[in-house]
Amino acid sequence: MPLLDDLGAPVPLTGPARRVVSLVPSLTEALAATCPERLVGATDWCTHPADLDVTRVRGTKNPDLAAVADLAPDLVVANKEENRELDVTRMRERGLAVWVTDIETVPQSLASMGRLLAEALSVDEPGWLAEAREAWAGPVPVPHARAVVPIWRDPWMVVGRPTFTADLLTRAGFEVVTGGASGRYPHVDAAALDDPDGADVVLLPDEPYEFTAADGPEAFTRVPTRLVSGRLLTWYGPALVEARISLDRA
């Protein structure tokens, strides 16, 4: 029976993948923490672990497909949201096996990573995955705060639904609000976000837009802001364990 990725596409592997190129920072971190000897390539945005020493193949949206092919990977891992369908198609046309993940919730992320590791790499479940599974088990709590989560400015864009970040924050007790806009990552006027009747806090992550103490908080005079790690809000993998601890303290 052929292997199928999260989108139901066949993945032509004849055995456990021994050489893997990752085009997703979250998956890069997960693979580096689980079977680092198999990771041979990653994007420029793959910043964890900090000492990762593999060939870089440019970005998630503009990977160097020739460089990927030159690494002769058994498997390339990608993500439906982070990588372009065109690049996946072109890699498959080059004869590369590509596994695409599709993740919009915490339970999906845990199941997807578990299946990738077990079916495509034939490795035992790592400790960090078991720890993350336990950390995020249990019922969804009653929200204790309404949070706006900008991901860009000029124009302002915020996290909406359905997204992994919104689901993660919901499971941490935050109701993600968007200033009345709908969609996964809607554009919103900053004035609509700076409304204490609609939000209790603005969480300003450091990625994909790098909000800092000098860039972001000054746009909000009525709703308190908090600088947070974008990795802990958007990455699935070992970051899920840290996210649980960090958000419990928020």
pLDDT one-digit tens code per residue, 201-243: 999 999 999 999 999 999 999 999 999 999 999 999 999 999 9
In angstroms, the Cα distances linking 145 to 67, 117, 151, 174, 250 are: 46, 36, 19, 5, 10
Q: Provide the percentage of residues in the chain whose pLDDT is more than 70.
A: 99
Q: Where in the chain is the domain with CATH 3.40.50.1980?
A: 3-130, 145-248
Q: Under the phi-then-psi rule, with left for phi > 0, alpha for psi from -120 to 50, and beta for the rest, what region is 117?
A: alpha
Residue type, 91: M
Which pLDDT score is estimated for 248?
75
Radius of gyration of the chain (CA): 19
Note the pLDDT of residue 246: 87
Average pLDDT in the chain: 96
pLDDT band at 247 (very low <50, low <70, confident <90, very high): confident
Half-sphere exposure of 57 (CA within 13 A, CB side): 29
Distances from the Cα of 249 to the Cαs of 105, 131, 173, 174, in angstroms?
A: 21, 18, 11, 12
Q: What's domain 3-130's superfamily in CATH?
A: Nitrogenase molybdenum iron protein domain (3.40.50.1980)
| CATH 1.10.150.20 holds for 145-248 | no
List, edge to edge, every strand of the sheet that includes 201-205: 174-176, 145-148, 201-205, 225-228
Collect all residues with Cβ–Cβ distance below 8 Å to 245 and sequence separation of at least 6.
135
CB atoms within 10 A of CB 92: 16
**CA separation for the pair 4, 182 (Å, rounded):** 32
Question: Could you tell me the two tokens for 199?
Answer: 């939000």
State residue 2's pLDDT score: 83
**Per DSSP, which regions of 43-198 are E strands?**
55-56, 75-79, 98-101, 145-148, 150-152, 157-158, 174-176
Can you give the pTM of this predicted structure?
0.93
* Residue 132, helix vs strand vs coil: helix
